[in-house]
Structure 1
């Protein structure tokens, strides 16, 4: 990583807070949706996905200039993998720090949402690991990786916030899994037995499917955007001290 990056501790704090708030948005809006529309699951999903689209877009804009706004271990891992030869992305040590911050933040996000809605923290019993759900996670994650790194490779990183928000919102509906596409968020959602929760037994399958999706996404990038590795440092948003004036 270049010397122009914000210090690692600052980036880790941004990743922790951003992932915490993302999961809080997902879980909290799911709880609100259940209460507002108790007899209409379709409307619940619409409310949940709309809040997630808007919230994620804002979080990328806020935290992107500091850490890149990964909020997702597979995005960070892809950043490290693509940039490892040219040293354009995360180092292995930075990757580990990002992932720990993201997982801790995701768990904190569930706890925060539970506390705001006075539902108490309990482990979810909502099973999701059907073959269709797992395929949905492969597709959702592959598409997310291609989108993020294609934008960076074609110098359109400024569009990342609305584009990633739009993709996640659409994937809520076109994938059977409602597009977790994020191992940290998946782990975090264990700790809320509400609309957005996931049972611990479903988590390993989801994470494996997400990793497979990430590998597939990287393969597609190699075919479609072979120069993507050169822009790994600008994922999800450019985050250098020179560009942000930090």
Structure 2
């Protein structure tokens, strides 16, 4: 029997659950705070939201990376399994934890700011531009992560991923969700960072299209990995 089929997953799954919860709380909570602090300036609201998310993501990858790899994102876990960095058993265990964590994080953010614990978002985002943005955002995120992993520079992922997500808030019209789990989680907060349920299928489709493109590009650009692919490397695979 392969060692991967019996690898202990309780601690990594807990790390993914907690990390996804806190990441979503950062994203949504900072959006609520930005709306209240700068009620008449949407550009400043976005800047505040992006800065908090980038910094929070950096810290969360440092905290949970050594335990689970700090994926916090089903497409990151999917690409890791496809490229041989982790097992499909790990994928099956991580994804539910990531989704539940993102929903819990939305509820937590709502509670932190004294709003209804659950409020379904009414913010429609399903436009062609948003869809293309999510393809681009997802491709970019996965290239950042796996270019570092496959060239032996995984220790730089916390800063690189935080910087990329912070920038992608501004160069994509969708503000770079790039994460199916957080797309689901954001349904449950009718605030600055929320997304209407009807828009989520478009976002998820675009994210999985971006994932397929990224897998192809990683295989072409980095065919030989210098990283140890026997198991998930610490501090290597997060996101928003």
TM-score of the superposed pair, with normalisation by structure 2: 0.93
Q: In structure 2, do the counterparts of structure 1 residues 96 and 129 end up closer, same or farther at CA, with 3 Å as the change threshold?
A: same
- 1:22-37 superposed matches below 5 A: 22-37=23-38
Distance in 2, Cα, partners of 1:229 & 1:91: 18
Q: Is the 8 A contact 2:134 2:203 kept in 1?
A: yes
Unaligned runs of 5+ in 1: 84-88, 240-246
Does residue 166 in structure 1 map to residue 167 in structure 2?
no
**Gaps spanning 5+ residues in structure 2: where?**
none
Give the TM-score normalised by structure 1. 0.90
Cα RMSD of the aligned pairs, angstroms, is 1.8
Deviation at 1:150, TM superposition (A): 0.6
| Larger deviation, residues 62-71 vs 91-100 | 91-100
2:90 matches 1:94: yes
Shift of 1:93: 2.2
User: Are the structure 2 counterparts of residues 28 and 172 from structure 1 closer, same or farther at C-alpha, using a change threshold of 3 Å?
Assistant: same
Aligned counterpart, 2:54:
53
**Deviations 1:81-137 (Å, cap 9, x if unpaired)?**
110xxxxx3222221110000000000000000001011121000000100000000
SS in structure 1 opposite 2:32? helix
1:109-188 to structure 2, matched below 5 A, reads 109-120=105-116, 121-188=118-185
Equivalent pair of 1:16/1:102 in contact (CA under 8 Å): yes
Q: Which residue of 2 aligns with 1:244?
A: none
Quote the residue 1:242 is aligned against.
Answer: none
Deviation (angstroms), 1:235: 4.8
CA distance in structure 2 between the aligned counterparts of 1:179 and 1:231, rounded to whole angstroms: 29
Distance 2:146 2:103 in 1: 27
Per the alignment, residue 73 of structure 1 pairs with 74
Q: Compared with structure 1, are the counterparts of its residues 208 and 154 closer, same or farther at alpha carbon in structure 2 (3 Å cutoff)?
A: same
Change (3 A) 1:238 1:198: closer
Indicate conservation of the 8 Å contact 1:152/1:236, yes or no.
Answer: no
Name the structure 1 match of 2:15: 14
CA offset at residue 234 of structure 1? 4.2
Cα separation, 2, equivalents of 1:110 and 1:238: 24
Q: How many residues align?
A: 233
Matches of 1:236 and 1:138 in 2, distance apart? 26
Q: Take 1:166 and 1:194, find their aligned partners in 2: how far apart are those partners?
A: 24
For residues 236 and 38 of structure 1, the distance between their equivalents in structure 2, rounded to whole angstroms, comes to: 40
Worse overlay, 121-130 or 89-98:
89-98
Q: Are 1:222 and 2:219 matched, yes or no? A: yes
Q: Equivalent residue of 1:135, what SS?
A: helix
Q: Which residue number in structure 1 is paired with residue 235 of structure 2?
A: 237
